[in-house]
Amino acid sequence: MTTSPLLEAKALSKHFGGLQAVQGVDMTVAAGEVVGLIGPNGAGKTTLFNMLAGSMAPSAGQLFLEGEDCTGANAHQMAQRGLARTFQITSVFAGLSVWDNVFAATYRHQHANWLWAFFQSRSYQAEQAQMQQRTEDALRSVNLLHRRHDSAQTLPYGEQRKLEIAIALACAPRLLLLDEPAAGMNPEEGVKLVQLIRGLREQGMAVLLVEHHMRVVMGVCDRVVVINSGEKIAQGTPQEVVQHPEVVRVYLGREAVHA
Amino acid sequence: MHAVATGLLLLPLAMGNDYVLHMLTLWALYSLLALSLNIVVGFLGELSFGHAAFFGVGAYTSALLVMTWHWPLWLAPLSGAGLAALLGWLIGYVSLRIVGPQFAILTLGFGAIVLTITNYWVDVTRGPMGLSQIPAFALPSWGWDFSQARHMYPLALLLLGVVLYGCHVLQHSRQGRAFVAVRENPELAASVGINVFRTKLLGFVVATALAGFTGALYAHYLRVITPDVMSLTYMSAMLIMVVIGGKGSLYGPVLGALLYTFLLEALRSTGAWRMVVFAALLITCVVFLPSGLVSLWRRRKEATT
Amino acid sequence: MLFLQQLLNGLANGMGYVLIAVGLTLVFGVLRIVNFAHGEFYMLGAYATYFAMSMAGLSYIPALLLATLLVAGLGLLANHFFFAPLQKEHEFTMLLSSLGLALLLAHSAEAIFGADPKYLDTPYADATLDWGNITVTEQRLLIVGVASLLILFVYAFIRYTRMGQMMQATAQHPEGAALTGINTRFVHSYTFALACALAALSGALVGPTTMLFPTVGDWAVLKGFIVVVMGGLGSITGALLGGLILGVAEALGGSYISMGFKDAIGYAIIIAVLLWRPQGLFTPGARR
């Protein structure tokens, strides 16, 4: 790729006391690219993921978003710059309706303050209409529009996962970080997820996903980065990575990551 | 619907019973206070035990500015609100970083300090004796004296209407949605771009400003103010209004204030037992009806649609 | 030797606070409940002693023991009917409910016993011991003596008895403790009753040094919170040290700065601690 990457990590490291969780990882994600992050359990994927998302500060290394240094930026700052993420354990606004859950995520695109709202100014009303449209579109893309008045906590697990994605989409991010999005999904839902991610890629979004479901990884990733014991051991197309001797060695004999 | 309610509320003015009008004025003022606490407890989901202190600060500041330093009457309540907001900013800045029950204890401590200072700084606040003969708002050329219930009530009702509309707007505004997002899931809120701490602080300061403003109105209406208004008793009363009425809702605090004002008065003859009744109501609501009495009405509405 | 006098007064007051705080911290450690109503058991202990003496004609020590037993029993009931069913609820719910219970108990006491202050008269309240310029009432000595013994007893109990170890296990890992066969509900009841007993004893011991009124529980629970937050929620050693520090700081501050601001000292301390070291001055989290 000759285009400069959207997200670039240089020598990112994290240690907790004596434990080195991530060591000197370089990686990039470009616009319109889907990158998979795989590795055995405990390899440091989650720590790396959290550093990229801003919810954990790196001990060393640098992070660039669209060429701008945002090392050490925290979660909401990264979000303001156009990054959205989902969580490994389903995370929604439990007490709010599905609609309100997603509407809340349009936060960074709203600029009207309370005073304009008080006087129902035209710019406020226009903005509200825009946000409603965004919310509707996000819900429609995960097929949850019909549930918009239901309370988020009444949703079954699979739909809560979809709600999470809708929340992330409503942020209109340029970079989407997905943490095990296919976990707990049946094969049919997995296929829909792959279609959704492909659609996002076509729109020019950069996507990074941590995943154990190899079928999803193979099916949608343009590139795969493999982490083991905090270090990057391989990267390349899914086909290349699967045949990489180091990767094979790491996964050999262990409970194979299920497809 | 709103027209009917407004009509009903204005009816007592025609009947001219000063006692009822006084009760209604108190209800309106307590509603404002409960709405301010609702921003913190309901919208932000933070259990603050120091809120009564801001009410008191607003009251005392306004009264003292007029009586001791001869400020113009129209400026004083705004200054009361301003000082309460400043104090709210200071206390909020240091307290809102703390999560869990420690926040409740911390705000309890701050509230207790403000009460203690008010009680012992006798030179300025006249201590436990409080301030009396506080000048009332008045428009003499129109014959309006706002220490009279029949004049204060419409004003208080108007202000209540404005604040209710403001809260309604808040609920649908960007900041208001951020408040509840922070309440429901701070981590997720941050991941959509919300600065959690600043959002909490904003809500806290708005709430304390409103409490201070209400305190000033209260002081100039009753014309007497004592440190009691910052006591744990008052604080509990406020919490009772918000929780029983329905925290996080728009009309809940107003309903809670109505229940409190009138039930308290109706049970006056029972002495200390009336607070026992309220305590029992509080417990019942917290356990069985966490969304307050307002949710009963909402459930009925949903059942019929 | 004003300093020494104030120091001794402070230590005596401090021990009173320690008794309140130990119960509060035990309940938080084992049951994970922040109990706003804890001060009411202090109040009830004092009132029960008063009525046992004035109406049943008992002398001080038997009245005190009876009161402690009664209030411990009341605590068992409160836990069974009130706190245990709410265990699984959100923290917010628990805080507000315990506030409701506190109001319920305080105002019921006001309605039943009357709002006028009562004086708990004991044979020790007026008798004094003098060393040079220092005067200590026997009541204060009693507080220090009894409280010290109790702290040692509680410490040994938790460390060495089976029930104590079960309490520790439940505090450290509630689910794990249940899995190893510990009847956590029983442990909860036992702990709660013990905590209320300590609070009641504190009320009966400290009550004679001041006067009784129905809302004294609010004051007691606030002192308890200050100490517990200082010492760390769940730490008994912390409660001991915190209580003594608060007592002495108040006594010295009160005499050298101003009596009126005595109470403000405690609040200032708690604020300073929560801002600087929210987990408490003496915890690394382990309960003893």
Most distant CA pair in chain A, distance: 67
Lowest average pLDDT, out of A243-257, C73-87, C229-243, goes to A243-257
Q: With helix as H, strand as E and coil as C, how does C160-179 read? A: HCHHHHHHHHHHHCHHHHHH
Q: Report the sign of the C-alpha dihedral through residues A67, A71, A73, A78, in that order.
A: positive
Which residue's structure tokens are 């990039």? A28
Report the Cα–Cα distance between both ends of chain A, in Å, rounded.
29
- A140 pLDDT higher than 80: yes
Which residue out of A50, A55, A76 would a mutagenesis test of the B interface target, given it has the greatest number of B Cβ atoms within 10 Å?
A: A76
User: Which 3 state secondary structure label does DSSP give A245?
Assistant: helix
Count of residues in chain C: 288
Q: With helix as H, strand as E and coil as C, how does B107-169 read? A: HHHHHHHHHHHHHHCHHHHCHHHCEECCCCCEEHHHCEECCCHHHHHHHHHHHHHHHHHHHHH
How many CB pairs below 8 Å do chains B and C form together?
102
Give the C-alpha separation, A231 to A14, whole Å.
Answer: 11
- Consecutive H or E run containing B279: helix B273-288
Residue-wise pLDDT for C101-134, tens only, equals: 999 999 999 999 988 888 888 887 777 777 777 7
Q: How far is B27 from chain A (nearest CA, A)?
A: 25
Q: Residues 6 or more apart from A236 whose CB is under 8 A from it?
A: A223, A224, A244
Q: What are phi and psi of C123, to 5 degrees?
A: -65, -15
Taking residues C125-152, report their average pLDDT.
83
Q: What does the buried/exposed string (b/e) look like for A137-157 if buried means 16 or more CB atoms within 10 Å of the residue's CB? A: ebbebbebbebbeeebeebee
* Predicted pLDDT at C279: 74
- A26 pLDDT higher than 90: yes
B271 to chain C: nearest residue by CA?
A: C111
Which residue's structure tokens are 């990267």? A235
| Domain coordinates in residue numbering, chain B | 2-228
% of chain C with per-residue pLDDT over 70:
96
CA-angle at A115, arms to A112 and A119, nearest 5°? 100
* Predicted pLDDT at C286: 38
- What ipTM was predicted for this assembly? 0.91
* Predicted pLDDT at A259: 44
Taking residues C139-148, report their average pLDDT.
88
Chain B positions in Cβ-Cβ contact with residue A100 (cut-off 8 Å): 177, 180
* Predicted pLDDT at A127: 94
Q: How far is B255 from chain A (nearest CA, A)?
A: 22
Q: Which whole-number Å values give the CA distances from C29 to A236, B52, C111, C127, C277, in the listed order?
A: 52, 30, 33, 39, 18
Give the C-alpha separation, A181 to C145, whole Å.
Answer: 63
Give the count of beta carbons closer than 10 Å to the beta carbon of residue C35.
Answer: 31
* Predicted pLDDT at B82: 96
Q: With helix as H, strand as E and coil as C, how does B219-263 read? A: HHHHCEECHHHHCHHHHHHHHHHHHHHCCCCCCHHHHHHHHHHHH
- A2 pLDDT higher than 60: no
What's the pLDDT band for C87 if we cut at 50, 70, 90? confident
- A16 pLDDT higher than 60: yes
Q: Is B109 on the interface with C (CB under 8 A)?
A: yes
**Most trustworthy range by pLDDT among A154-163, A182-191, B194-203, C117-126:** B194-203
* One-letter amino acid of C135: T
Give the count of beta carbons closer than 10 Å to the beta carbon of residue A252.
Answer: 8
* Predicted pLDDT at C288: 32
% of chain B with per-residue pLDDT over 70:
99
Q: What are phi and psi of C214, to 5 degrees?
A: -60, -25
Q: Is C93 on the interface with B (CB under 8 A)?
A: yes
Q: What is the DSSP string of A145-214?
A: GGGTTSBGGGS-HHHHHHHHHHHHHHT--SEEEEESTTTT--HHHHHHHHHHHHHHHHTT-EEEEE-S-H
Chain A positions in Cβ-Cβ contact with residue B175 (cut-off 8 Å): 113-114
Which residue's structure tokens are 């605590």? C75
Look at C111 and B271 and tell me if their CB atoms are within 8 Å: yes
Q: Residues 6 or more apart from C63 whose CB is under 8 A from it?
A: C48, C49, C52, C53, C56, C204
User: Which 3 state secondary structure label does DSSP give A256?
Assistant: coil
Q: How far is B16 from chain A (nearest CA, A)?
A: 34
Chain B positions in Cβ-Cβ contact with residue C267 (cut-off 8 Å): 109-110, 112-113, 116
| Domain coordinates in residue numbering, chain A | 7-82+173-251, 94-156
Q: Residue A7's beta-bridge partner residues?
A: A29, A65
Chains B and A touch (3+ CB pairs under 8 A): yes
Look at C111 and B98 and tell me if their CB atoms are within 8 Å: no
- C6 pLDDT higher than 80: yes
* Predicted pLDDT at B242: 95
* Predicted pLDDT at B148: 86
8 Å CB contact between A150 and A181: no
Look at B193 and A171 and tell me if their CB atoms are within 8 Å: yes
- Output DSSP code: residue B305: -
Q: Is C104 on the interface with B (CB under 8 A)?
A: yes
8 Å CB contact between A37 and A45: yes
CATH node for A7-82+173-251:
3.40.50.300
- Output DSSP code: residue B38: H
Taking residues B123-137, report their average pLDDT.
89
CA-angle at C163, arms to C161 and C167, nearest 5°? 115
- Output DSSP code: residue A63: E
8 Å CB contact between A58 and A20: no
8 Å CB contact between A37 and A61: no
Residue-wise pLDDT for B253-272, tens only, equals: 999 999 999 988 888 888 88
Helix C60-78 and helix C38-54: axis angle, to 10°? Answer: 140
Which residue's structure tokens are 């649908």? B172
Look at B169 and A118 and tell me if their CB atoms are within 8 Å: yes
